[in-house]
Amino acid sequence: MAGNERMRPADQKIGKTKRRPDLFMVLTWVASVAAVVTLLWILESIVTPAWPAIQQTGLSFFTSTVWDVNRNRYGALPFLIGTTESSLIALLIALPLGVFIALFLSENFLPLGVRHVIRFVVELLAAIPSVVYGLWGIAVVIPLVQQFGGYLSDFLGFIPLFSGPATGNSMLTASLVLAIMVLPTITAISRTALVAVPPTLREGSYAVGATRWETIFRVLVPTAAPGIVAATILAFGRAMGETMAVAMLIGNSPRLSWSLLSPAGTLAGLLANQFGEAQGLQISALMYAALALVVLTLFVNMAGEAVLRRAEKATAGIR
Amino acid sequence: MKTSKVSFLFLGALVTQLFSWSASAATQLQGAGATFPAPIYQRWIAEYTKANPDVQINYQGVGSGAGIKQFTQNLVSFGASDAAMTDKEIAAVKQGVVLIPATAGSIVLAYNIPGVDNLKLSREAYAGIFVGKITKWSDPAIAKTNEGVKLPDSPITVCERSDGSGTTFVFTKHLSAISPEFKDKIGEGTSVTWPTGVAGKGNDGVTALIKQNKGAIGYVEYGYAKNNKLAFAALQNKAGEFVTATTASGAATLATTQFPPDLLRAWPSDPDGKDCYPISTFTWLLLYKKYDNTQIVEAVKKFVNFGLTDGQKFAEELGYIPLPKEVVDKNLEALKTVQ
């Protein structure tokens, strides 16, 4: 694609008239610069107030487990772990589920009309506001987790992951609801990727005698992998930044715990909870936490980009 | 041509409209601060502006800390805070500050134990629960004061505030006053690090946590517990009596408060008196000593005066404690110093 002479637009100089600045080009230029400037601006306005905390706590901010406003000690490790852990568990649940739904919707198991309806309903999940997910979590998921969590801790309590007591507002509750929240992202993008696989590949696979399942898992899914990876990354990003629903369900505890049935906290939840009443160094420490969240999401997106590019290269031959 | 004429007319109408609005504009007061007294302040505003339609008052319950911030930055006509203001905060306001303890309330320990509705907690018991030392309802420290009550052998889920809050400030101040261990390990503040339990945002968040979790106990404003029909414990006061939060027991506590002569700021952290409910507190309106605008200062003074006198009669139905007469008198004196 790159370097192909024919792909370049024709030269715009006509006759001997001097080339005028193209209004459209100027507009697009301004728009893209504005986006970059906004990002830098946001970063600047986080870093400046965060600076006192960065100077005082330095890297111990990421290794200390004590967040004690009273004694002006700020360690964000529990929240950092809470953010990553809840998002990873959510993906662990949503990824297989989402890919299966996407496969189901891209194959012809059901008539097209029915698939359209299912697809619409799954994508509608994305339209539900975060706070409604939180309320639903309170009404439905918390009682479930309390009950089944109780059994889990009774029978499997010797495993640290399931040690009791089982509280309703816990890591598990938050992760379950997050999984449902990111499901439409994974499903929609994976489905698009699966549908975009050239039909010739499928036909070729059938022609050499592969069954439908072999075709799906050996040909279709690997070919659509870049799209599925992209979906996963977007979902991960959304899960990490999710604030309202998680703050309502996770129990907002600054204590580290192995157990999924214990309350935990996330960076976004910490910010939402404490910012209103914060004073002095606490504001600064919260800004530092915000910076950590931004950097974390940025890092995930960059890692995702890298994986995406690699996967694209690997499948370039068959496209 | 036609459209331009129409739009010109429209624009003209708009401009005249704007002028007429600004001509009849009422005096506008902006207030911001604590969420705990917000319901009673809103009620005062509703009643006061009904009688005085030339004044518009807007109160935002943004939290005590944010209220102090906006007040210091001169963004509001009055602020409000459950933790009053510290000397340092007062020094930062160049117009000077007048603190008005405008209403008061109690903090209750609401719990959710099916079948139990008359729990009594000794000082040792409830301090122990929040320090994280007492973890089961069957603990002897709880059983001792609840003879004949069938307490389950289940874990205690402690529910607390995840956001910074004046409620937490008052509650931790009280616990620090009665338990050296609490003072040492946790301390007082609007946002503290609890050694145990789950946290929710706002009084409503904690209320929801208590309702959801069997075996839960948490601190909420009396009004919230009452409106949500939560059971709350009788607490042992300094004199050793077990007292339930009521308007009368709260008023008894407020009456013990000794204010320093020049500043109406004090917390009855551990009231001494056998009818006193142990955790009752004032909440403050923050006024400037000097206002630039005479129209605004008049409106502020009249409104606060209304709240302190006629406004007190709404306290009880909204779950607050009417101010003792001496406090009202002191407030009215202080209000005169506002210029």
| A90 vs B214, more confident | A90
Q: What is the mean pLDDT of residues B154-176?
A: 91
Q: What is the ipTM of this complex?
A: 0.77
Angle at B175 between CA B173 and CA B176, to 5 degrees: 65
What percent of chain A is modeled with pLDDT above 70?
91
pTM: 0.82
DSSP label at B155?
A: B
- According to DSSP, the residues that pair with B109 across neighbouring strands are B219
User: Please, what is the average pLDDT of chain B?
Assistant: 88
Which residue of A147, A244, A252, A256 to mutate against B (max B Cβ within 10 Å)? A252
Angle at A36 between CA A33 and CA A40, to 5 degrees: 135
Q: What is the mean pLDDT of residues A1-13?
A: 52
Q: Residue B199, exposed/middle/buried by CB under 10 A (0-12, 13-18, 19+)?
A: buried
CB-CB neighbours of A11 under 10 Å = 7
Residues sharing a CB contact under 8 Å with residue B205, sequence separation 6 or more, in sequence order:
A248, B161, B162, B199
Question: In angstroms, rounded to a whole number, what is the distance separating the alpha carbons of residues B67 and B77?
Answer: 11
Nearest Cα residue to B337 out of B278, B280, B262: B262
- CB B181 within 8 Å of CB B131: yes
- According to DSSP, the residues that pair with B57 across neighbouring strands are B29
Nearest Cα residue to B278 out of B253, B248, B259: B253
**Virtual CA dihedral for B186, A274, B123, B222, nearest 10 degrees?**
170
**Crossing angle (nearest 10°) for helices A142-156 and B202-212:** 50
The per-residue pLDDT for B84 is 87
Question: In angstroms, rounded to a whole number, what is the distance separating the alpha carbons of residues A38 and A30?
Answer: 12
- Ramachandran sector of residue B24 (left: φ over 0; alpha: ψ -120 to 50; beta: rest): alpha
- CB A277 within 8 Å of CB B63: yes
**Virtual CA dihedral for B8, B13, B16, B21, nearest 10 degrees?**
-140
Interface of B with A in 221-250 (CB under 8 A): none
- CB A96 within 8 Å of CB A221: no
- CB A127 within 8 Å of CB A181: no
Nearest Cα residue to A291 out of A64, A13, A49: A49
Handedness of CA B125, B128, B132, B135 (dihedral sign): negative
Query: Tens digits of per-residue pLDDT, B4-45?
Result: 555 555 555 555 555 444 444 678 999 999 888 988 999 999
Does the beta carbon of B168 lie under 8 angstroms from any beta carbon of chain A?
A: no
Min Cα distance A294 → chain B (Å) is 22
| B269 vs B199, more confident | B199
Query: Tens digits of per-residue pLDDT, A301-315?
Result: 887 778 777 767 766
End-to-end CA distance of chain B: 57
Contact A66 B208 (CB under 8 A): no
The per-residue pLDDT for B15 is 52
Which chain B residue has its CA at the smallest distance from A249's CA? Answer: B200
Does the beta carbon of B141 lie under 8 angstroms from any beta carbon of chain A?
A: no
Which residue of B88, B162, B203 to mutate against A (max A Cβ within 10 Å)? B162
Q: Residue A9, exposed/middle/buried by CB under 10 A (0-12, 13-18, 19+)?
A: exposed
Q: What is the mean pLDDT of residues B45-54?
A: 92
Contact A167 B66 (CB under 8 A): no
The per-residue pLDDT for B22 is 46
Residues sharing a CB contact under 8 Å with residue B185, sequence separation 6 or more, in sequence order:
B131, B195
- CB B64 within 8 Å of CB B82: yes
Does the beta carbon of B132 lie under 8 angstroms from any beta carbon of chain A?
A: no
- CB A190 within 8 Å of CB A102: yes
The per-residue pLDDT for A12 is 53
**Virtual CA dihedral for B164, B165, B171, B176, nearest 10 degrees?**
40
- CB B34 within 8 Å of CB B283: yes
